[in-house]
Amino acid sequence: MARQTRRHFLQLMAWIGLGSQTWRSGVAHAMHHGAATTPTAATPVAPAMTYRTLGATGFKASRLVFGCGSALSRGQAVGLLEPAFEAGINVFDVGFRGFYKDAEKNMAPFLKRRRQDIFLISKAKVGGNLKPSDTLTVAQAREAAQAWSAYLDNSLSELQVDHVDAYYLMGVNNAALVGSEEVYSAFETARQAGKVSYFGISTHENAAALMEVAIETGWYTLAQIAITPAGWYDNPGRRLLPGTPLMRDLQPMLARARTAGIGLIGMKAGRHLAGRRLTRAKPRAYDHLYNDKLMAANLTNFQRSYAYVLAHGLDVVNADMQSAGHFQENFFAAATSDTYFT
């Protein structure tokens, strides 16, 4: 992938409204802490994106993944795709029409220009209303496999491509489904047909059990998990999973996943901080886990959570970015994450 000059980067940032004082002050602080050479006031220097090999794919992935599902569902963030690519983002994650409406369709024009330069992920939810503890019947497994294959074909049509790099089981929570030979056979058939290269899971419920199955089977190359500095995030409950180990205590499991060739993609690292309609925001919930250098950094609470999870076992983080400001925050946190723990 061609790399832009830093001057070009700044021009791009200004073009999409990222040349704000917040960005400039954040950049200046990062430079002070060793991220790069200190810029002049007239020419602020943005941090360069950093990269990490994504499991057994061998792909050098930007540590920030552009989450295109919600962001493109109504076409609201289409204008951010090209600037994000030019800024160094090379992994784009979207999802099927059944959940994300027109997201794949709205991504198609960008893919006509950039498909060969990026790692493209999509996903679909199968398995009906299976709960984590449900037994998976043979009929349910076959139905899930058929649905996964059909959704993949539809995604290819919507995206106007003949191949995606990875296609996930989306929002999966049932370990038996992750370990289903019928579902894996559907992936293998699609892989042999040249439709997809890698299999993955996306989960924010029962993640620990699912990861164990993914590690044991050796079928999965990517896992997108809802994890925070304080441990597992439980999306159905809109809270931290009760009794979750801290992320630092999950290191052995994350290490086993990496050894098994699974690329680890984080999501919802800061969701708990924001609260929800019925829960109070907790912006300082993770502060007690941070070192002095991270606490002293000129970052928002959300940026700190992203920086922390990237420095403690994740390869990359997936972020839904629907505005230039949101892109700015996430880019800066991902690009400088390792500098706060050295």
Report the pLDDT value the prediction gives residue 53, as an integer from 0 to 100: 98
Is 223 part of any domain?
A: yes
CA atoms of 323 and 100, how far apart (whole Å): 18
Q: CATH no. for residue 71? A: 3.20.20.100
Find where tokens 């497994």 sit. Answer: 141
CA angle 306/119/71 to nearest 5° reads 55
Is 85 part of any domain?
A: yes
CA atoms of 337 and 209, how far apart (whole Å): 28
97-127 burial, b at 16+ Cβ within 10 Å, e below that, comes to beebbebbbbbeebbeebbeebbbbbbbbbb
Report the pLDDT value the prediction gives residue 46, as an integer from 0 to 100: 74
- Provide the residue type at 341 as one letter: F
Q: Does residue 3 surpass a pLDDT of 60?
A: no
Is 326 part of any domain?
A: yes
Is 16 part of any domain?
A: no
The total number of structural domains that make up the chain: 1
Range name among 3-12, 146-155, 202-211, 213-222 with the lowest pLDDT average: 3-12
Is 334 part of any domain?
A: yes
When pLDDT is cut at 50, 70 and 90, the band that residue 41 belongs to is very low
Q: What is the pTM of this model?
A: 0.89
pLDDT in tens, 193-248: 999 999 999 999 999 999 999 999 999 999 999 999 999 999 998 899 999 999 99
Is 264 part of any domain?
A: yes
Domain around 285: 49-341
Tokens linked to 331: 């880019």
Instruction: List 53's β-bridge partners, or say none.
Output: 60
When pLDDT is cut at 50, 70 and 90, the band that residue 280 belongs to is confident
β-strands 196-203, 164-169: how paired?
A: parallel
Is 29 part of any domain?
A: no
CA atoms of 18 and 148, how far apart (whole Å): 39
Query: Which whole number is the average pLDDT over 44-68?
Result: 93
Give the count of beta carbons closer than 10 Å to the beta carbon of residue 138.
Answer: 9
Q: What is the mean pLDDT of the chain?
A: 89
Range name among 34-48, 141-155, 220-234 with the lowest pLDDT average: 34-48
Is 43 part of any domain?
A: no
Tokens linked to 313: 């076992």
Pair 100, 72: CB distance under 8 Å: yes
Positions of E strands within the chain: 51-53, 60-62, 64-67, 91-93, 119-124, 164-169, 196-203, 222-228, 231-234, 239-240, 263-267, 316-320
